């Protein structure tokens, strides 16, 4: 009964030609709807964009890009296509710099979104008998309500635990026999540490079997660590508020790439400099077009997320392509001595050392007119009384980092618990260079 593994078998296994046909039709509808939004109305008029432009899926490249700056500049209502009468909810980014980005949803938009999230959860084995605890921030952040409605759509008992308060999270997990938890990866590790401190063996004393981790870039090593610490399977979730939130792309049980739902989105990966498509399988910036959103369609939205398509078919039978885990954001990239560096490269190396904890901080600063990278990382436990061993650990970390990023950083081991351990998105990079 292979059908049992799919939430919506007919859509999840649709043949590529049929899927592309569906995309072309929905793109035309989307363009008609988008033309009602003040921003697109003006843009389409200037560029002569009409639905007739679209004959094949490649014609999407004839359309202009939309950027985060466009969303900010047209705050608050410049992208609302359906009129406010149809819009029933909004979500927004934190907006720490300038205007926040706001995304509007009609009831139908919320339904398709919940459905997509339910499809994701079903894909990793959750069913209506599961108890799903959502340890994500609620409110404006999409990870709260997004997973709430998705898990309810699936029929799982959903615990809206929200973020933080580890002792309470653990009480819920024990009391309600929680089987699945959604949390950002740094918080999943925190929970595992608190379980350990409390002397609770999650394998025998809880019903936990699945962790959904996302909203924060993380490495394969970090995932394996979460799985090992908690005795669970951990699945990577990808979403962004501009594309509604969670439920954009999700791993299947193969744990080898995230299926991105191409009935809801047209997905392109482009070179962030030239904006031309990169060859299949190469890293570039993810660009997405909504296909089933009526309150706020977005055309060729530049997500700033760096990833690549995994070029082969997935053994699970789903035809929707797989994205590799997010390699960081094109914004997070920093350039030192002419080399492009992503924090994820540094994290990947640090996670290879058992002697180190999971918190780290990269600071780039100017020393004698030179750019220097300082990597501070927490020691897990003092593993020795021998200075030489600690120093050789420092040296080994430095050498491995240099091999990875091609620049020699200064490595500083710091006390456990001394680096900021954010319960939201952890701050990993500080650029203190003279401007």
Partner 1 sequence: MTIKQLSIFLENKSGRLSEILDILAKQCVKIVASTVADTGDYGILRIITPDTEKAYLALKERNVSVNISEVIAAEIDADCGIYADLFRDFPAFQISVEYIYCFNVGGKSILFFRTSNNEAALRLLQSKKVCILTNTDL
Per CB under 8 A, residues contacting partner 1 are 379-387, 390-391, 412-418
By C-beta, is 84 or 382 nearer to partner 1? 382
Structure-block tokens of residue 284: 């570039």
Q: How far is the CB of 12 from partner 1 (least distance, A)?
A: 45
Q: How far is the CB of 420 from partner 1 (least distance, A)?
A: 14
Q: How far is the CB of 380 from partner 1 (least distance, A)?
A: 8
Q: How far is the CB of 381 from partner 1 (least distance, A)?
A: 5
Alpha carbon of residue 115 to chain centroid: 18
By C-beta, is 50 or 384 nearer to partner 1? 384
By C-beta, is 243 or 413 nearer to partner 1? 413
Tell me which DSSP letter residue 53 carries.
G
By C-beta, is 335 or 382 nearer to partner 1? 382
Residue 149 contacts residue 143 (beta carbons within 8 Å)? no
DSSP strands (E only) in 87-232? 87-92, 102-106, 131-134, 157-159, 180-183, 210-214
Structure-block tokens of residue 170: 């653990």
CA-to-CA distance for 324 and 269, rounded, in angstroms? 12
Cβ–Cβ contacts within 10 Å for residue 407, how many? 15
Cβ–Cβ contacts within 10 Å for residue 281, how many? 12
By C-beta, is 312 or 418 nearer to partner 1? 418
Structure-block tokens of residue 45: 């008029």
Q: How far is the CB of 374 from partner 1 (least distance, A)?
A: 10
Q: How far is the CB of 170 from partner 1 (least distance, A)?
A: 17
Structure-block tokens of residue 263: 């009935």
Q: How far is the CB of 317 from partner 1 (least distance, A)?
A: 47
> What are phi and psi for residue 249, nearest 5 degrees?
-145, 150
Structure-block tokens of residue 325: 């885990």
DSSP string, 319-331: -S-EEPPP--BTT
By C-beta, is 240 or 426 nearer to partner 1? 426
By C-beta, is 249 or 356 nearer to partner 1? 356
DSSP string, 376-391: EEEESS---S-HHHHH
Residue 34 contacts residue 146 (beta carbons within 8 Å)? no
Q: Based on the number of CB atoms within 10 Å of its own CB, is 257 exposed (0-12), middle (13-18) or buried (19 or more)? A: buried
Q: Based on the number of CB atoms within 10 Å of its own CB, is 432 exposed (0-12), middle (13-18) or buried (19 or more)? A: exposed
End-to-end CA separation in angstroms for the chain: 61
**Paired residues of 260 in beta bridges:** 249
Q: How far is the CB of 390 from partner 1 (least distance, A)?
A: 8
Q: How far is the CB of 232 from partner 1 (least distance, A)?
A: 24
Which helix (H) or strand (E) segment is 177 a member of?
Answer: none
By C-beta, is 36 or 355 nearer to partner 1? 355
By C-beta, is 219 or 359 nearer to partner 1? 359
Q: How far is the CB of 254 from partner 1 (least distance, A)?
A: 37
Q: How far is the CB of 167 from partner 1 (least distance, A)?
A: 15
* Residue pointed to by tokens 């660590």: 225
CA-to-CA distance for 179 and 174, rounded, in angstroms? 10
By C-beta, is 278 or 374 nearer to partner 1? 374
By C-beta, is 338 or 417 nearer to partner 1? 417
β-pairing verdict for 356-367 and 245-251 = unpaired
């Amino acid at each position: 009964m292979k059908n049992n593994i799919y939430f919506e078998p007919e859509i999840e296994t649709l043949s590529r030609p049929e899927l592309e046909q569906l995309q072309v039709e929905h793109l035309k509808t989307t363009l008609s709807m988008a033309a009602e939004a003040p921003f697109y109305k003006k843009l389409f008029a200037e560029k002569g964009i009409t639905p007739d432009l679209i004959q094949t899926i490649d014609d999407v490249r004839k359309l202009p890009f939309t950027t985060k700056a466009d969303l900010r500049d047209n705050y608050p209502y410049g992208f609302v296509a359906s009129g406010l009468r149809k819009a029933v909810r909004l979500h927004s980014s934190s907006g720490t710099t300038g205007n926040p980005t706001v995304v509007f949803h009609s009831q139908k938009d919320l339904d398709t979104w919940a459905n997509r999230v339910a499809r994701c959860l079903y894909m990793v084995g959750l069913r209506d008998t599961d108890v799903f605890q959502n340890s994500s921030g609620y409110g404006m952040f999409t990870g709260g309500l997004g997973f709430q409605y998705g898990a309810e759509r699936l029929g799982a008992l959903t615990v809206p635990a929200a973020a933080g308060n580890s002792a309470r999270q653990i009480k819920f997990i024990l009391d309600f026999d929680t089987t699945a938890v959604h949390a950002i990866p740094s918080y999943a590790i925190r929970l595992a540490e608190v379980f350990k401190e409390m002397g609770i063996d999650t394998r025998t004393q809880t019903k936990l079997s699945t962790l959904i981790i996302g909203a924060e870039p993380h490495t394969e090593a970090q995932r394996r660590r979460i799985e090992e610490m908690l005795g669970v399977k951990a699945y990577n979730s990808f979403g962004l508020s501009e594309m509604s939130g969670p439920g954009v792309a999700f791993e299947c049980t193969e744990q080898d790439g995230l299926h991105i739902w191409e009935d809801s989105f047209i997905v392109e990966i482009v070179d962030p400099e030239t904006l031309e498509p990169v060859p299949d399988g190469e890293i570039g910036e993810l660009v997405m077009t909504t296909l089933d959103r009526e309150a706020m369609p977005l055309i060729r939205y530049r997500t700033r997320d760096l990833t690549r398509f995994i070029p082969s078919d997935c053994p699970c039978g789903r035809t929707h392509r797989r994205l590799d885990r997010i390699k960081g954001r094109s914004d997070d990239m920093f350039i030192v001595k002419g080399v492009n560096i992503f924090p994820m490269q540094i994290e990947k190396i640090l996670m290879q050392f058992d002697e180190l904890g999971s918190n780290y901080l990269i600071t780039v600063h100017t020393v004698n007119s030179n750019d220097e990278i300082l990597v501070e990382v927490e020691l897990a436990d003092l593993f020795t009384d021998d200075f030489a061993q600690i120093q050789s650990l420092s040296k080994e970390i430095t050498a491995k980092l240099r091999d990875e990023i091609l620049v020699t950083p200064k490595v500083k081991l710091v006390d456990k618990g001394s680096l900021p351990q954010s319960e939201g998105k952890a701050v990993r990079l500080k650029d203190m260079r003279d401007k």
